[in-house]
Every structure is written in C-alpha cells, then in structure tokens.
Amino acid sequence: MPSPARRFSTDRFLFGGDYNPEQWPEEVWHEDVALMRRAGVNAATVGVFSWAALEPAEGVYEFGWLDRVVEVLHAGGVGVVLATPTASPPPWFTRAHPDAMPVGPDGVRLSHGSRDTYAVSAPAYRDACREIVQRLAERYGSHPALLAWHVHNEYGTLDWGEHAAAAFRRWLQRRYGTLTELNRAWYTSFWSQRYGDWEDVLPPRATQYLANPAQVLDFKRFSSDEMLQALREQRDVIRATGSAAPVTTNFMLPTWNHLEQWSWSAELDLVSVDHYLDTVGPDGETHAAYGADLTRSFGQGDPWLLMEQSSTSSTVPGRRAHKSPDRVIRNSLSYLARGSQGALFFQWRAPAAGSEAWHGGIVPHTGAGSRSFRGFEQLGAVLTAIAEAAEPPAEGPLVEADVAVLWHAEGWWATDAPQLPSDLLDYSSTVRAAHRALWQAGYAVDFAAPGADLSRYRLVLVPSMFALDGQAVRRLEEHLAAGGHLAVWPFTGYADEDLHVVPGGYPGRLRHLLGLHVEELHPLAAGDEVLLESDGTGPLRGRVWSELVVPDGAEVLAAYAGGGLDGKAALTRHRVGAGVAHYVSTFLDEEPLRRWLTAVCEQSGARPVLGAPAPEGVEVVRRRGARADHLFVLNHSGVPVRVTGPGTNLLTSSPADAGLRVEPRGWAVLRTTERDGWSAEALEA
C-alpha cells in the first residue's frame, strides 16, 4: 500500500459523514456548518450523487455551488472527502447513450430513475467518468480542505449486456489463452457446452436450466476486475492532475459482495468501508467488529476509514430500528479501536424526501434539539479526548492478532451456486460465526487471503473455502511446518480454482494435512441437528452438515453420538511436523463452537487481548500507537465492569491501577505502554 494511507489523519479521528447540500437552500449550509462545529464534526463527504448538479446538460458545467460549499466548510474548519459522482449518471447521459445502461441476465435493459444505473464496460460511460473526474480533480485537487478522494460509491452494478459480453471475452482470453483451455476449465464436455468460437461465449444470461458454475464464477471474477479497471482509470486521472490527497472507494460490507477486496485494496491509498449492522440485537456489536477487522485486514493492517455507518436507525427486515446514542458511540469506538481513522455516518442531515427520507441523519428531521443530536455532540467530545490514539505506530500493524481467518470473495461466490450438497451452506454466516466465537473469547483476529504469508499467526482458521489453489495449500503447509495450528470446517478444499473436485475423497486438497478423508456427505435438513460426544463441559451440537470421516492418522477427539454416524469421527486433530491441524465435520452451534475454538486457541499459544477472557458482553481491543497503545474497553453488557491495569483513561484522566469502573453500556479508552497486568471483572449491578 502506498505511504499516504499510513499517515492519514494521524492527529485526530475524522467525524462527520455524507453531506448533500445540493438538496437544501444555501442558507441551510451555514446552519449546517454552525451545527457541525457545535458537534465537533471535522469531515464532510461531498458530491457522492452530484453529477446532475455539476453537469446539468452534456458539456455544461456548474461548479459554482460546489466552490461555495467547499469554502463554507473550509472556513468552518471542516475537511472535505470529495466524491466523484460517477455512481449516478444524470438522465441526459442515459438518453444520449442508451447502450450504456446495464442489462440484466434476463435481457431487460434498466432505465434511469434510481441510482447506480450504468454499464461499467460501456465506452461512453467510461469516457464520461474520466471527463467529469478530470474537471473535479483540476478544480479541487489541491484545495487545502481536501482530505481524500472518494471515487464512485459502492461499486457493484453488474451488467450482462453487449459491452459486458465483449469485455468478458477479452478477460477470458487473457485468463485462458485458448478456447481449449477455457473448455477444460469450464468442463464444457458436460451438457454439450463446448465452445468452438470466442463469439459464442456469453455472460451467464438467463438460460433454460442450471448455468455452468465455472462460467458464473468467472463472470463474478470478471465483473470485479472490470469495475476495478474503472476505478483505476479514475484514480489515474486524479493522480495525473498532481492531487496528493489519498484515493479511496467505499466498499460495502458484508451484506453483498461483488468485489474481490484483496486485489482492490492493493490499488487504493486508503481502504474504506460502509458498514451497516445486520441486527439491532446484542449481536450487532460482533457485527461491527467483524466489518472492522475485515476492512483493516484488506488494508494489510494499516489505518482505514469507516466511510458510512447508520446514524439514528438501522435497516432490519421490515422496519427502521432505532439506534441509541450510547450504541452509536460504542460502535464508533469499536471501529476506531480496530483501525479506522474516523467515524463517518450516513448522513449529516436527514433528507426531506426521496427514497431514503427515513434513513436518518446526524441532524434528524426533528432537528438539533433532539436527544440523538446531543448523542452526536457527546461522540464529538469523546473523539476529541482520544485524538492521540489516531497516530499509528512507526512499525507494524495497528492491531496485533495471533489468529487469522482465511477470507476470500470466491469462497462466498462458489458457495452461492445452486445444486451444492446442501442449500444451507452459507459462507458468510460461517465466517461470521467463527469471528463471533473469537470475539466472545476475547481474541484479536485478522483476516488473510488464501495464499498470503501466514507466518505471524499462531492459528489459522478456514471456516469453509470450497476451492483452494496450489499456492493457498502451500501456505497452509508452511504454516504447519513452522509449528502453527490450523482449524478447518467442512466443505473446504474440495476443489481446485476451476471448481474441479479433487478425486479420492474430500477434502482433496487438504487430506494430507488433516490426516483423514471424508467418504460420504450427510447434509442435514433445516432444523435438524447432530450431537457429538461431550467435551466434558456440555453437549457439542452441530447443524446443517455431517459426514463420514475416515481418519488416516488423525486422532479422534469426539465421535458422533447417535444417528446414522454414531461412533464415527466428528472432531479430529492431526500432528503435522511441528504443527497441529484440527478438523470439525459439522457446523457447531454458537456455544460449543466457542468452547472448541477457545481450546484450539489455547493449544496454539494464541493469547487473548487481556491475557484472559473478558466478562460476557465486554469488548477489549488494543490499538497500537506511536508513543503508547490504547486499550478500548466497551461494556456492551447491562452490568458494570471493573478494569484494572497499568493505564489511564483518556476520557476522565483516572488511572486504572487500582481498578476503573466502566458503567453498563459505557466505555473507556486507556493509554498504556504495558501489555501485561490487565484484568477485567463484572461487578454486581
């Protein structure tokens, strides 16, 4: 990653969010900036969907309003994260270039009237993007208020039309070279799909029955690469103007997934993300941590930026659920603890109308006299008080983790295919469950790409990864040879990168490491469960999956208890050189998963953040810093907690040596230079 990212906003955490002044009369802008100052807001993301306001007709530009917005913000001490408006071409563009509208797999071409409606491979769209970006970069690229470039917004519009078809063929020619190789990889001898001419090759459009899974996977790979190329073009236009501000684009995590984030992150100065909680229940805290750890990992452990989180409400099925001010603060601190350089929100001011009129804002419909606005003022004060924690260490990652989870978009894409052994296989829930278990047990976690260097980790988890390439397997072999531990879930390593199943028993690519082979798959019906022999503390219950495991050297730690697999191996361990490979042959429920993983962590020598598990519902994260580290203690529980150790709370200046009380749903941020000597305990309510 280029160096500007490493040094991004090191003297303070950014606070603010999407700002859409084009929706409001100019006098409101002045009120906005006055309120921003009151709340301590120091960053506004401007221009995200402003193309029609900036270029109301082809070649007619109106930058005057944006000039004034930038000046008003700058005069108020608010920095600008300037977006390129390319996520939403104006209606005149789509009428001039109807071929630049995306086409669905069913052949239906979409129209304007919403947003994100463009065919990313259409030359007219790409030319228009470069043109508007050039003008923006020339005009604002060296403005002192400019904090960063926010290219596009949440890339993710797929296209199955004629431009996509041509670009897909070019991509396939680069990947495979010859049609013979493509036919081999796609296994086209099946169902008479053999291709004799490149022109016959299409995106996976609507067809009579099941599509070819390899074609579908390649189309997803291609779509990610094609959008990445569009991003690179904008980035290069910006850089060519001499603008020194870091370039980012906001990923959307982790509810949908059209990008292969490892390759994208390598092209960005600064990785950023929009993260929306998937629940308003207590589990929302583990979700925030999951999104944050993923994003930091995409950026190789460097500082990153939370570009959006919801402000006053969260979208959950069927309603907009209220988000309490204390939760907003604790979530924000969780993102910062895990490496974000700021807490930005969607959005500054709740819109008066439009399809997101109810998505809330730092300034809600009820105005700045509200409880929620006071909550944001409190957040501003907290961020000011902990500003010193924004400075990253001179060397090494912001968060030190002994445990890594392998993560790749392709694991998700491959598991989305129909007609797998079970429709209940769910990549992202499986990974999330593993991460949640480690959160509960108090361990810091990184994610790692298959094939990446794993040498800094004691333990590597692979919570399902259907296809693994040779490099990914070699890295796991090296990890074990060096004395590391590995833990593997079902439906991992069955296939190579072309989705060809490795013969001879599952998981073909990992049999030698796990010391076993799987002879039969016994997927379970929804709601069914399997029991494993007790580990001494309680039942081990699994769902979704079971299988007939035949040990080839692995030690059996627990067998299935009852049912058709009664007495057969369920949980195993295999010594490989100096390392140990653990295997679980079902998807364990939350509590047993935590017990199993805690035991695996302990065996591997991984160390929890506090040296011992934190009390239930208490999140402790150590963010490394330049002169000291900072221990973020977030008490999501309903009882007070006492934290004791060699540090001082930045928010109260109270030392923690003799114990520091953290109220229910409260927080503390402690400056410390010591790794050891920390403990936390729950107090009586």
Residue 359 Cβ vs ligand GLA, minimum distance, rounded to whole Å: 5
**Active site amino acids:** 154, 308
Exactly one of 55, 154, 402, 497 binds ligand GLA (CB under 6 A); which one? 154
Please identify, using beta-carbon distances, which residue of 321 and 556 lies nearer to ligand GLA.
321
Please identify, using beta-carbon distances, which residue of 259 and 449 lies nearer to ligand GLA.
259
For residue 479, give the 3-state DSSP assignment.
Answer: helix
**Does the footprint of ligand GLA cover residue 150 (CB under 6 A)?**
no
Residues near 21 by beta carbon (within 8 Å), at least 6 away in sequence? 28, 29, 32, 46, 65, 69
Please identify, using beta-carbon distances, which residue of 250 and 586 lies nearer to ligand GLA.
250
Exactly one of 9, 153, 265, 572 binds ligand GLA (CB under 6 A); which one? 153
Q: How far is 359 from 489, CA to CA, in rounded Å?
A: 38
Q: How far is 585 from 566, CA to CA, in rounded Å?
A: 13
Please identify, using beta-carbon distances, which residue of 260 and 308 lies nearer to ligand GLA.
308
Cα Rg of the chain, angstroms:
26
Residue 148 Cβ vs ligand GLA, minimum distance, rounded to whole Å: 16
- The site for ligand GLA, by CB under 6 A, has a size of 8
At how many degrees (to 10) do helices 427-441 and 284-298 cross? 100
Q: How far is 545 from 549, CA to CA, in rounded Å?
A: 12
For residue 337, give the 3-state DSSP assignment.
Answer: helix
Please identify, using beta-carbon distances, which residue of 32 and 402 lies nearer to ligand GLA.
32
Residue 153 Cβ vs ligand GLA, minimum distance, rounded to whole Å: 5
Residue 543 Cβ vs ligand GLA, minimum distance, rounded to whole Å: 31
Residue 511 Cβ vs ligand GLA, minimum distance, rounded to whole Å: 42
**Does the footprint of ligand GLA cover residue 410 (CB under 6 A)?**
no
Q: How far is 533 from 349, CA to CA, in rounded Å?
A: 55
Binders of ligand GLA in range 303-332 (CB under 6 A) = 308
Phi, psi of 273 (to 5 degrees): -150, 150
Binders of ligand GLA in range 348-367 (CB under 6 A) = 356, 359
Residues near 570 by beta carbon (within 8 Å), at least 6 away in sequence? 530, 532, 533, 540, 542, 546, 549, 556, 558, 559, 560, 584, 585, 586
Measured at the alpha carbon of residue 164, what is the angle toward residues 159 and 167, in degrees to the nearest 5?
A: 150
Q: How far is 323 from 307, CA to CA, in rounded Å?
A: 18
Residue 303 Cβ vs ligand GLA, minimum distance, rounded to whole Å: 21
**Does the footprint of ligand GLA cover residue 274 (CB under 6 A)?**
yes
Please identify, using beta-carbon distances, which residue of 254 and 515 lies nearer to ligand GLA.
254
Residue 406 Cα to chain centre, angstroms: 13
Give the residue at shortest CB distance from ligand GLA: 274
For residue 37, give the 3-state DSSP assignment.
Answer: helix
Phi, psi of 76 (to 5 degrees): -90, 5
Residue 23 Cβ vs ligand GLA, minimum distance, rounded to whole Å: 13
Residue 328 Cα to chain centre, angstroms: 19
**Does the footprint of ligand GLA cover residue 346 (CB under 6 A)?**
yes
Please identify, using beta-carbon distances, which residue of 195 and 358 lies nearer to ligand GLA.
358
Binders of ligand GLA in range 572-631 (CB under 6 A) = none
For residue 571, give the 3-state DSSP assignment.
Answer: strand
**Does the footprint of ligand GLA cover residue 218 (CB under 6 A)?**
no
Q: How far is CA 310 from CA 18, 113, 150, in A?
A: 11, 24, 18
Q: H-helix or E-strand containing 229?
A: helix 213-240
Binders of ligand GLA in range 230-269 (CB under 6 A) = 252
Please identify, using beta-carbon distances, which residue of 83 and 337 lies nearer to ligand GLA.
83
Measured at the alpha carbon of residue 602, what is the angle toward residues 599 and 605, in degrees to the nearest 5?
A: 150
140: closest CA among 43, 1, 7, 241?
A: 241
Residue 405 Cβ vs ligand GLA, minimum distance, rounded to whole Å: 24
Residue 590 Cβ vs ligand GLA, minimum distance, rounded to whole Å: 28
- Token pair, residue 659, equals 């114990």
Q: How far is 577 from 512, CA to CA, in rounded Å?
A: 12
Q: How far is 447 from 465, CA to CA, in rounded Å?
A: 13
Q: How far is 405 from 294, CA to CA, in rounded Å?
A: 10
Residue 290 Cβ vs ligand GLA, minimum distance, rounded to whole Å: 17
Please identify, using beta-carbon distances, which residue of 359 and 622 lies nearer to ligand GLA.
359
Please identify, using beta-carbon distances, which residue of 316 and 599 lies nearer to ligand GLA.
316
Residues that bind ligand GLA (CB under 6 A): 153-154, 252, 274, 308, 346, 356, 359
